[in-house]
Structure 1
Amino acid sequence: MKKSKPKYYAHSLEDKPPEEWQLLEDHLRNVARLAGEFASSFGSDYWAELAGLWHDIGKYSREFQKKLYDANGIECYLETKPGKVIHSQAGGHLAQQCMSNGMERIFCWLIMGHHAGLADFSSDKTGAKALEPKMRNPERSESILENVPDKIKNKLSPDFPQLLKDGADISFFIRILFSCVVDADFLDTEAFMNSEKAALRAEVYPALDDLLIALDKHLDDLCQSAEPTDVNRIRAEVLEQCRQSADLNPAVFTLTVPTGGGKTLSSLAFALRHAKKQSKGRIIYVIPYTSIIEQTAQVFRKIPGFENAVLEHHCNVVSNDESKESIRSRLASENWDAPIIVTTAVQFFESLFACKTSRCRKLHNITHSVIIFDEAQCLPPSYLRPVVFAIRELYRHYGVTPVLCTATQPVLTQTKQFDFKFKEGFDPAEVVPIISNPETLTDNLKRVELTNHADLRPVSYDELVGAIQAENQSVLCIVNKKDDCRTLAKLLPEEYTLHLSTNMCAAHRLQTIENIRKRLKTEAKPLYVVSTSLVEAGVDLDFPVVYRALSGLDSIAQAAGRCNREGRLPNYGKTVIFLPEKQPGYVQAPASLALEYLLKPDQLKTIFLPKTIESYFKQRFFQLGDHALDEKQILRLLGGNLDFYFRTVAERFRLIDDDWQLPVIAPYEEAIFFVDELKCAPHLNRKIIRKLQRYLVNISCKERILLEREGALELISLPEIFQLNAHFYDLKYGVIAEGSININPEELIC
């Protein structure tokens, strides 16, 4: 009698016989098909299919099959010797046998890292975790490969895809292709292991075409009902130019519009129209600050038809109900499978340079999309070269249309001015402005006059308080340090003063901002608001007078955008620049450069024009120098002859260096009840942790020492989840820890 071939399985089901387990060949073919579909948008479908087909062939080992049987308490019919089971290497060893010219190394990264993540090629620090040791002695997998069906292992070696022939960066290509494979693996495994969860993904989102129709109607209604002011007329002009420019061929678009010019909805109108014209898959908004993200997502969801189309992905997002939609949103956040994504710059760029599978799996859904980089001037200078490199790769080779959206456009094109060569920048021919006349637009939308206080000599707190009160109207005062913010707020009349800083948790800040808006509309008495720079970008406040501590020219322009924002004053609003007695170190260089413009009387009237901002940024980047724009040497680690350091890059690429700080739970409003729930939970409850994220405040190491000395921190759960004693959280100022230090954390919060 002919002996039947053994069956090999990929996954088992608890309390189910092997006949109901997933056959390994089925899993391999499913992953190959899905991965190929994901990679088809950038012409690399065969590469993804082959990596998907080979990713788990290590499971053809007798040891792995016995492991499945043993885990389910079933006697295995295969005789094996005890030993460690590693199933992720055999596919790479097969690639080494079949391929050459570096192709085999690429496939080894894709296959050998599909669980552990992308590794450094070689590393003294990571040792066996590096790729090179795993590639040694590929004959180790020969006994496993004998069990692999010929129709799976005997595949033609692929040709290099066209995008690599066109000069695409290989390390970036590996990362995007890795995303296709690991997401396909996740999704097929989930479909077999958890059909109910998989079914939630199958529900259809609104189509981009339908969202465009809904947005056009919403915008037309807004235009018809808007007051006939000069500001609203200009906003309508901006919207019309965005609609017209959307028909242009893909480019690196710039949307340079003064603050208050309606960038948010106009950029969405451009993105949806361009996506329809160019058959793009989704719209992604990349925003620097969580305070703006929450505001932007709220604006989008208020558009009829958009309620279930927007995925808000950042650490503070919390669902207030347990509906099916909230579960679906959490699933979408795993791989960004939604039509409109609103996320942080930290989440976006750290994912692009990540090595872990969980963070990389969304990357293929970034391709073939329209990406709005809101407040583009906030792109972090110390990571500017790798950040612009990533945007450029997405545009040139992965079907992405980037839009750099800001009132103060940074210079990101290749330039030789000042002998400074920004080689990772965009070619000037690639950059297309959406607004045809940004200089004229800025001039027409002028609502503010800029003045210098005391000829920019250093001023004391008392002098500044006197000047603010002498205005006899509401004033927003923006300072550079949290300590200055609190001290100055305490010197102003308590009844008429509000404070904003990152010493307050997100929920506290948002409630304070709503309180400010309400009081500005309803109270006749002057309102004084003292804030750090968190209000500058995208926070919709409108004051007749704004005071701004000396800083970079881009920050000054953003601060002026909170002054006479709606243009309702009979004359210009008033923005006053002052020099504090003490400046933090991180602001001194950009402030000194801004001083060169502010002290020239003839430039004060034109200081916010795009040509002035361009001149400022060129000098600023030259001042920083080439090394400072890639401080952690990210691009060097991804250069070389396929000797990439993916894991090291992921460790170094952190837009917020949180080693110096500790997140603590502020005893603010509902946080107290959520903490009680967490204490009573038998295990670490991640649902409660997510709810608590809106109540977190980051404190410095020095503040932690001071607070621990006072017994103000209570450890409520591991790993290191602390609650702050209520006596040390003020309902006006937030965390109170005397002797706090000032580092530049500001709002790039993941």
Structure 2
Amino acid sequence: MQYIAHIRQSDEEIQSVEEHLLGVQKLAESFGEKIGVKHIAGLAGMLHDMGKYTQEFRDYIIEAAKNPDAPPKRGSVDHSTAGGKLLYQLFHSGNPVPLNWMLAEVVGNAIISHHAYLHDFLSPNLESPYLKRVQKTEPELKGFDNAKQCFFQFVISEAEFQQYVAKATAELDAYLTKPWVGNYESKLMFLTKFVFSALIDADRTNTRRFEENKVSEPELCYKTLFAGYYHKLMKKIDEYQAQDTEKTEINRLRREMSDQCEQFADKPSGIYTLSIPTGGGKTLASLRYALRHAISSGKKHIIYVVPYTTIIEQNAEEVRKILQDNGNILEHHSNVVDDTDDGDEHEDGVINTRQKLKLAKDNWDSPIIFTTMVQFLNVFYAKGSRNVRRLHNLSESVIIFDEVQKVPVSCVSLFNHALNFLQTYGRASLILCTATQPALNYAAEQVDHQLKIGENAEIIANLDGVIEAFKRVEIVDRATDETFNTDKLADFVTEKIDEVQSVLVILNTKAVVKRLYRQLAENEFPMYHLSTSMCAAHRNKILEKVRGHLERREKVICISTQLIEAGVDVSFDCVIRSLAGLDSIAQAAGRCNRHGQDDIRQVYVIDHVEENLKDLPEIRDGKQHAKRILVDLKRDRNLHGGDILTVQAMDKYFKEFYAAFRRKLNYHVPKLRKDMTELLMSSRGDNTYNEAYKQAKRELLPLCIVNSYKTAAENFYVIDDLTKSVMVPFGDAGKDMIAQLNGNETIEDLTALLRKAQQYSINLFDWELRQLAKNDGLVSLLDGKVLALKESAYSEEYGLELENDSQLEGYWF
């Protein structure tokens, strides 16, 4: 009998179970080799679909192939448990042998979870979902004995299997004995997630290649590619220097700091800091480091992690122009496809619309990647196999964290753990970029889980002198003695635009941004509105217009949320910033007189009374700490170095800021009354669920790992409320893209479409989605996996229109 793993949609060709298992094993081994766990990952690959060696699965897949869009669910076969059960049966019985037990648990959890997300070893209700699965017996797990016999007959002999497991055990021993700042449980948690990542990507890649009838894909020579990029970058840097008719001090310093990045690239991989001031040419300098270090140390990816999507758009475009390569540079804003609740085992084996979405290439295998802090943290901690699939590709990478001080307070410990893992095991080099580096020092003092930064980690020499040389603005305090409402602020903006050519206003909430824009709508000068209610393509179009006015020295007003203040290359004559944390004020100041072409310009700090910061605690608290420093300076100009943006002022600000958030740094989950770090990596003795289990059951849980991976993932959101990505009909391209998503595309075409779709998507909260649904403003695409706005719910002026009443003409579907 031929046992079937997949049936190709185009020609009904069959992929046998052994072909699939051996193919996934080979890919998983190559992924696992990055951190020295080749056989551990390969073990997951060779066993993951062992349960397809049953008559029940063969009957199911033949029936499902006849009707791929409605495969049989009743009596569907559990084929993902068998491999995990085999490991449990062979290596997790009798007296505990710690390495065998841990191997069975790590690999077994990845196997039984590969159609959803990792199971809890011990859940809040004091049950073990992992044990429940691997202890399944007849009749729950039909055909297990036959599957086991076929596995040893067609895939690997029992003797060879024992030898393979012995190699995996040796790898586990070496992995666990490597020096590390965390405990055993944290090591095992990251290993489980890495193996799970390798398995998910290997499984989906092998399946996609079979469906597309591709034996393999050509491998890039990263060293050659990065060497070519480096040559192009240096040519551009030399051109900039030759064209620099104004040999200003700022331009000299930019080149000097860029040279320092090059020299630092010869050091071993590690965690380093890059404290280039705002406007100091950080993107090109960090790229210069990354390319040089990637060439010398054999890295395969250069990944930029930024706080806002606007920086992705700008930096990616800047890098594309220099490197002259579109195909190898990936922008990843968000997950357009929602897979957080994907339990799709009953659909495995045949290719329908939902499976195409799952198989679409979304694994961060590009040489250069631009993504956000949200997406980076989701890879390690969020639910959904699409997120964790990317984890193994963070190894052997140079990862540049731009504006690292924007790491959400609640995620500081988790961020530190992820970086320590990548540096210790993943052979990654990690660069922490910020103009306000003291943030890292004070976060480290307050947090339980330290970041492993070595001595002499700063790339730039003589920081104090560099900061002083880059001073281009004067901060004018209008926040301590008065407040502004929208009317008063509109008058102030009008007054300023009469004095200068350009004014940028940055406020803390979308509501007040929109209100001020409407208040000034009758102004005779060009005026623009920016917020995250607009998709990336929309914001790019507006920023392009704004830059045009600035370059031509025309009058222009721009009113924006904070998305414009970090990394967006614009230079206004005057900036008005609503009071927030000192790091935000410093970033806003970087949008004023950015290149030092004028004498000192003014940045006005105001207190806007109409901003509702109830749900923005970090902005609210940052505002309070910043105001205290402003009050000090109003009383005595000699305090804090005499200015709000000095190193002394920043020191005081961050020390107080992180002290105020001390209890939140480990990501507290209120409804469970636990920190995320306890759920993921507490030891047996410190795990309260484990202690409660002993009390309730009067026995020990027979596992080495007792942590709650699924519960943790279900409760992890980088921001407080879960958001979903929704496509928007902006411009002809956005409308056409939505119209094209009908499920008839090939996997390759769907991959390309979903990548482009990120430029035409926005993230919405649940309450916004509910209101849009109530107002008939949403359309569901691809069996509900993708959502899109109706055209009437999106405005050329503001972006999202919750009332679904914008005046755009036409209808796109």
Scaled by the length of structure 1, the TM-score of the pair is 0.84
- Alignment pair present for 1:546 and 2:575: yes
What's 1:529 paired with? 558
- Seen in structure 2, the aligned counterparts of structure 1 residues 568 and 242 have a Cα distance that, compared at 3 Å, is same
- Seen in structure 2, the aligned counterparts of structure 1 residues 38 and 593 have a Cα distance that, compared at 3 Å, is same
What's 1:424 paired with? 449
Q: Which amino acid aligns with 2:403?
A: E
Match of 1:592 among 600, 603, 624: 624
What's 1:362 paired with? 390
Match of 1:732 among 786, 793, 797: 797
Q: Which amino acid aligns with 1:46?
A: H
Q: Is 1:456–1:579's contact at 8 Å kept on the other side of the alignment?
A: no
SS of 1:451's partner is: strand
Structure 2 unaligned blocks of 5 or more = 67-73, 92-96, 181-185, 338-357, 670-674, 685-704, 806-813
What's 2:130 paired with? 131
- Seen in structure 2, the aligned counterparts of structure 1 residues 165 and 688 have a Cα distance that, compared at 3 Å, is closer
- Seen in structure 2, the aligned counterparts of structure 1 residues 699 and 8 have a Cα distance that, compared at 3 Å, is closer
RMSD: 3.7
Q: Which amino acid aligns with 1:501?
A: S
Q: How many aligned residue pairs are there?
A: 705
- Seen in structure 2, the aligned counterparts of structure 1 residues 458 and 179 have a Cα distance that, compared at 3 Å, is same
Match of 1:636 among 643, 660, 678: 678
- Seen in structure 2, the aligned counterparts of structure 1 residues 394 and 416 have a Cα distance that, compared at 3 Å, is closer
Q: CA deviation at 1:69?
A: 5.8
Residues 560-709 of structure 1: matches in 2 within 5 Å? 560-569=589-598, 571-583=599-611, 584-585=613-614, 586=616, 587-599=619-631, 600=633, 601-602=637-638, 603=640, 605-632=642-669, 633-640=675-682, 641=684, 642-659=705-722, 663=726, 665=728, 670-672=733-735, 694-697=759-762
Q: Is 2:299–2:398's contact at 8 Å kept on the other side of the alignment?
A: yes
Deviations, residues 215-272 of structure 1 (Å, cap 9, x unaligned):
2222222222233222211110110111111111222111111111000011011111
- How many angstroms apart in 1 are the aligned matches of 2:308 and 2:280? 19
Q: CA deviation at 1:672?
A: 5.0
Deviations, residues 350-380 of structure 1 (Å, cap 9, x unaligned):
0222454333222111112110011111111
- How many angstroms apart in 2 are the aligned matches of 1:675 and 1:334? 19
- Seen in structure 2, the aligned counterparts of structure 1 residues 126 and 694 have a Cα distance that, compared at 3 Å, is farther
Q: Is 1:475–1:543's contact at 8 Å kept on the other side of the alignment?
A: yes
- Alignment pair present for 1:555 and 2:547: no
Q: Which amino acid aligns with 2:797?
A: K
Deviations, residues 52-105 of structure 1 (Å, cap 9, x unaligned):
2222333333433454566679xxxxxxxx965322222222212332423221
Residues 291-306 of structure 1: matches in 2 within 5 Å? 291-306=310-325
Q: Which amino acid aligns with 2:133?
A: K
SS of 2:491's partner is: helix
What's 2:46 paired with? 53
- How many angstroms apart in 1 are the aligned matches of 2:210 and 2:473? 61
Q: CA deviation at 1:543?
A: 0.9
What's 1:442 paired with? 467
Match of 2:777 among 710, 713, 717: 713
- How many angstroms apart in 1 are the aligned matches of 2:79 and 2:336? 37
- How many angstroms apart in 1 are the aligned matches of 2:297 and 2:251? 30
Residues 325-474 of structure 1: matches in 2 within 5 Å? 333-409=361-437, 411-413=439-441, 420=446, 422-429=447-454, 432-453=457-478, 455-471=480-496, 472-473=499-500, 474=502
Q: Which amino acid aligns with 1:450?
A: I
Q: Is 1:395–1:402's contact at 8 Å kept on the other side of the alignment?
A: yes
Q: Is 2:332–2:755's contact at 8 Å kept on the other side of the alignment?
A: no
Match of 1:501 among 525, 531, 538: 531
Q: Which amino acid aligns with 1:106?
A: V
Q: Is 1:545–1:575's contact at 8 Å kept on the other side of the alignment?
A: yes
SS of 2:440's partner is: coil
- How many angstroms apart in 1 are the aligned matches of 2:668 and 2:243? 50
- How many angstroms apart in 1 are the aligned matches of 2:336 and 2:234? 28
Q: Which amino acid aligns with 2:318?
A: V
Q: Which amino acid aligns with 1:506?
A: A
Q: Is 1:438–1:610's contact at 8 Å kept on the other side of the alignment?
A: no
What's 2:231 paired with? 213
- How many angstroms apart in 1 are the aligned matches of 2:773 and 2:82? 51
Match of 2:174 among 153, 156, 162: 162
Q: Which amino acid aligns with 2:644?
A: I
Deviations, residues 172-228 of structure 1 (Å, cap 9, x unaligned):
1110122222322223333334224x6556576762233223322222222222332
SS of 1:286's partner is: strand
- How many angstroms apart in 1 are the aligned matches of 2:562 and 2:204? 41
Deviations, residues 495-548 of structure 1 (Å, cap 9, x unaligned):
223222233343332222111111122244x32222111110111110121111
Q: Is 1:313–1:333's contact at 8 Å kept on the other side of the alignment?
A: no
- Seen in structure 2, the aligned counterparts of structure 1 residues 605 and 529 have a Cα distance that, compared at 3 Å, is farther
- Seen in structure 2, the aligned counterparts of structure 1 residues 341 and 549 have a Cα distance that, compared at 3 Å, is same
- Seen in structure 2, the aligned counterparts of structure 1 residues 731 and 523 have a Cα distance that, compared at 3 Å, is farther
- How many angstroms apart in 2 are the aligned matches of 1:402 and 1:680? 39
Q: CA deviation at 1:312?
A: 1.8
- How many angstroms apart in 2 are the aligned matches of 1:12 and 1:724? 37
Q: CA deviation at 1:653?
A: 1.9
- Alignment pair present for 1:37 and 2:19: no
Q: Is 1:414–1:425's contact at 8 Å kept on the other side of the alignment?
A: no
Q: Is 1:44–1:161's contact at 8 Å kept on the other side of the alignment?
A: no
More deviation, 438-447/687-696: 687-696
- Alignment pair present for 1:194 and 2:240: no
- Seen in structure 2, the aligned counterparts of structure 1 residues 299 and 605 have a Cα distance that, compared at 3 Å, is farther
- Seen in structure 2, the aligned counterparts of structure 1 residues 660 and 243 have a Cα distance that, compared at 3 Å, is closer
- Seen in structure 2, the aligned counterparts of structure 1 residues 231 and 550 have a Cα distance that, compared at 3 Å, is same
- Seen in structure 2, the aligned counterparts of structure 1 residues 736 and 612 have a Cα distance that, compared at 3 Å, is same
- How many angstroms apart in 2 are the aligned matches of 1:262 and 1:92? 51
- Alignment pair present for 1:290 and 2:315: no
- Seen in structure 2, the aligned counterparts of structure 1 residues 486 and 312 have a Cα distance that, compared at 3 Å, is closer
Q: Is 1:119–1:355's contact at 8 Å kept on the other side of the alignment?
A: no
- How many angstroms apart in 2 are the aligned matches of 1:53 and 1:127? 28
- Seen in structure 2, the aligned counterparts of structure 1 residues 21 and 514 have a Cα distance that, compared at 3 Å, is closer
- Seen in structure 2, the aligned counterparts of structure 1 residues 351 and 234 have a Cα distance that, compared at 3 Å, is same
- How many angstroms apart in 2 are the aligned matches of 1:677 and 1:105? 43
- Seen in structure 2, the aligned counterparts of structure 1 residues 60 and 410 have a Cα distance that, compared at 3 Å, is farther
- How many angstroms apart in 2 are the aligned matches of 1:62 and 1:681? 31
- How many angstroms apart in 2 are the aligned matches of 1:63 and 1:151? 28
- Alignment pair present for 1:94 and 2:122: no
- How many angstroms apart in 1 are the aligned matches of 2:31 and 2:765? 43
- How many angstroms apart in 2 are the aligned matches of 1:372 and 1:428? 15
- Seen in structure 2, the aligned counterparts of structure 1 residues 458 and 739 have a Cα distance that, compared at 3 Å, is farther
Q: Is 2:726–2:789's contact at 8 Å kept on the other side of the alignment?
A: no
Q: Is 2:535–2:760's contact at 8 Å kept on the other side of the alignment?
A: yes
More deviation, 159-168/531-540: 159-168
Q: CA deviation at 1:28?
A: 3.0
State the percentage of identical aligned residues.
33
Q: Is 2:87–2:108's contact at 8 Å kept on the other side of the alignment?
A: yes
Q: Which amino acid aligns with 1:191?
A: R
Q: CA deviation at 1:384?
A: 1.8
Q: Which amino acid aligns with 1:464?
A: L
